[in-house]
């Protein structure tokens, strides 16, 4: 299986799963609206803030990644069923100095005949054994939801029994703006922040680079499957 075949499989998988993602907030109960909607906002914010720890060098200054994030609401309060699946996210990284990496990411998908787009940008500062990241981004859900977030993290890389291990911590500050409701009991925005632990590893499967990354908080668990390739 080559790199192009895996990309094709991921795109097909993402199209199917993206049908499960719902931004129709009218499904949430008015009395517990904030508790039911916040897991969706957290899922969007952490998915957009996640950054793959690419080993960019002077000989390979550009990298591209394809990720599928899957989140679980640990409080079991969400109006959506677990897992909270996000469609394929495309990310590009370019090494501009010896240690500074610029990042851009996006996805555009259709859900219930609505076009929803998510995008973000940020930077990594990398060394041989660790990286720091700061990212900003947004999601536009035409009917009910707008999400804005700032995410920061620090990740260390170690080798255990010849297996690379990623360990780190992160912090995400998010704001979900609620649109299209006249009910005074429904908040106009949901603002909060979340800190989380990061763990993961890198694998090579049939010659394709894969990163598996978990982000864990008492409220939320996210698993991110990423394939990546380096160029130039």
- B/e letters for 82-100, b = 16+ CB within 10 Å, e = fewer, are ebbbbbbbebebbbeeeee
The mean per-residue pLDDT over the stretch 209-217 comes to 94
Total tally of structural domains belonging to the chain: 1
Please give the pLDDT value at position 18. 42
| Residue 226 scores a pLDDT above 90 | yes
Q: Domain range for residue 46?
A: 3-231
- What's the predicted TM-score (pTM) here? 0.89
Asked if residues 230 and 62 have their Cβ atoms less than 8 Å apart, the reply is yes
Asked if residues 226 and 21 have their Cβ atoms less than 8 Å apart, the reply is no
Please give the pLDDT value at position 141. 76
| Residue 205 scores a pLDDT above 90 | no
Residue 76, phi-psi category: left (phi > 0), alpha (psi -120 to 50), beta (remainder): left
Asked if residues 58 and 232 have their Cβ atoms less than 8 Å apart, the reply is no
d(CA 50, CA 67): 9
Summarised one tens digit per residue, pLDDT across range 20-79 is 567 888 889 999 999 999 999 999 999 999 988 888 888 899 999 999 899 999 999 999
Q: Give the Cβ contact number of residue 155 at 10 Å.
A: 22
The mean per-residue pLDDT over the stretch 2-12 comes to 51
Summarised one tens digit per residue, pLDDT across range 91-118 is 999 999 999 999 999 986 666 666 778 8
Q: Could you identify the residue written with the tokens 């694998």?
A: 203
Summarised one tens digit per residue, pLDDT across range 126-174 is 888 889 999 999 998 778 899 999 999 999 989 888 889 999 999 999 9
| Residue 212 scores a pLDDT above 60 | yes
Nearest Cα neighbor of 172 from 126, 99, 122 is 122
| Residue 175 scores a pLDDT above 80 | yes
| Residue 14 scores a pLDDT above 60 | no
């Amino acid at each position: 299986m080559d790199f192009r075949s895996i990309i094709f499989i991921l795109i097909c998988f993402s199209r199917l799963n993206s049908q499960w993602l719902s931004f129709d907030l009218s499904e949430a109960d008015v009395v517990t609206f904030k508790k039911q909607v916040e897991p969706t906002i957290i899922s969007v914010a952490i998915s957009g803030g996640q950054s793959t720890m690419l080993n960019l060098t002077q000989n390979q200054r550009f990298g591209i990644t394809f990720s599928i994030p899957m989140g679980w609401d640990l409080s079991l309060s969400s109006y959506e069923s677990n897992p909270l699946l996000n469609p394929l996210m495309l990310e590009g990284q370019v090494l501009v100095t010896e240690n500074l990496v610029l990042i851009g990411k996006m996805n555009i998908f259709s859900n219930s005949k609505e076009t929803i787009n998510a995008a973000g940008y940020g930077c990594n500062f990398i060394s041989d054994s660790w990286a720091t990241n700061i990212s900003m981004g947004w999601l536009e859900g035409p009917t009910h939801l707008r999400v804005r977030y700032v995410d920061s993290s620090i990740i260390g890389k170690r080798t255990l029994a010849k297996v690379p291990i990623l360990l780190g911590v992160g912090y995400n500050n998010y704001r979900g703006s609620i649109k299209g409701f006249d009910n005074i009991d429904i908040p106009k925005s949901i603002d909060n922040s979340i800190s989380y632990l990061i763990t993961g590893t890198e694998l090579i499967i049939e010659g394709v680079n894969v990163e598996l990354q978990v982000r864990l908080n008492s409220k939320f668990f996210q698993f991110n499957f990423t394939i990546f390739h380096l160029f130039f």
